[in-house]
Copies of this chain bind each other. A is one copy, B any other.
Amino acid sequence: MAEITLVEAVRAALAHALEEDPSVIILGEDVGVDGGVFRATEGLWQRFGRDRVRDTPLSEAAIAGMAVGLAAQRFRPVVEIQFQGFIHPALDQVANHAARLRNRTRGRLTCPMVLRAPYGGGVHAPEHHSESIEAIFAHIPGLRVVIPSSPGRAYGLLLSAIRDPDPVVFFEPKRLYRAQREEVALDGAGLPLDTAFTLREGRDVSVITWGAMTRECLEAAEALAGDGIEAEVVDMATLKPYDAATLLASVRRTGRCVIVHEAPRTGGFGGEIAARIAEEALDALVAPIRRVCPPDIIPPLPKLEAAYMPTAAEICAAVREVMAWG
């Protein structure tokens, strides 16, 4: 057991995967000697060598496309896109090739690749460095979208993502990279994909979230508990395919739902969650659903970022509002 941060957990999972499976290779900008701009790959190049951990030219489209070629050749490339805001050129390869290769060839060629990228705001980063566009990926058929929210889940989910026979995008909340230390057994055990994690149980309201917002939600739940409101906090963890059973069971129990994400509202993945509830658990709802998320604006530069990111206080307010119903 080691007390580690989320980014250290990512690194430990990568090291374990490199160790256990010679077909795993790591590629990306600055992942080599520099160890990645967030140090997620620190020491791996030194330990595993250039054939396993390789700096690429500055070519996001080709990085993703090359990974498809490697994966079709039975390697398991784990590629890093330095920031999610720079992932757009890779989308073509992800949507049109990686996510389709198995289906297009009826299983003849497959694409066991992982595309990692730090995402999200709250760290006073430069322009284009605070994006949270998981919803775009969660709409792509054939793709898995996984977002860890703690060191333990980062370790276990990343290992499972790498071992998965199909393509996974793995978005790491950079705000949590060093926010918290946790005991994690570095034993190579994966955590199940496609599974939500109930981070806190509660009978009154379901707070559904993922990524960095889990912290704000837990903080809000703590505060609400002081007022006798028991919020259940569910970390979806895998957005596609998502764990509808856990989601719906929670909402059926509580009858109330607040969804929290840091992506802008319209077209955010909160819509999917709300829709699913409105389809399959409407009868259980005693209050309207609430989404706590930024309006449809561009992540502001640091000076005004605080006005953008959802806070525990806002989550509390939304919960109190839905508690006033029914």
Contact = CB atoms under 8 A, between A and B. Distances in A.
A139 interface: yes
Interface in A272-326: 272-280, 282-283, 285, 287-291, 296-298
Interface residues of A, number: 54
A279 B288 contact: yes
Contacts of A287: 282
A207 B89 CA distance: 36
Nearest to A295: B141
Contact of A288 (B89, B278, B296): B278
A133 interface: yes
Given A85-B96, A135-B139, A267-B240, A279 B291 contact: yes
A127 B139 contact: no
Interface in A107-143: 127-128, 133, 135-136, 138-142
Interface stretch (A2-10, A32-40, A98-106, A226-234): A98-106
A223 interface: no
A263 interface: yes
Contacts of A49: none
A104 B264 CA distance: 17
A300 to B, nearest CB: 9
A296 B241 contact: yes
Given A92-B88, A136-B139, A141-B296, A272 B282 contact: no
Interface string A173-193: 000000000000000000000
A168 B274 CA distance: 27
A268 interface: yes
B138 A267 contact: yes
A106 B263 CA distance: 22
Contact of A283 (B103, B288, B297): B288
B141 A264 contact: yes
Given A91-B91, A104-B127, A266 B272 contact: yes
A270 B278 contact: no
Contact of A141 (B139, B272, B280, B298): B298
A266 B285 contact: no
Interface string A11-30: 00000000000000000000
A155 B232 CA distance: 50
B267 A274 contact: no
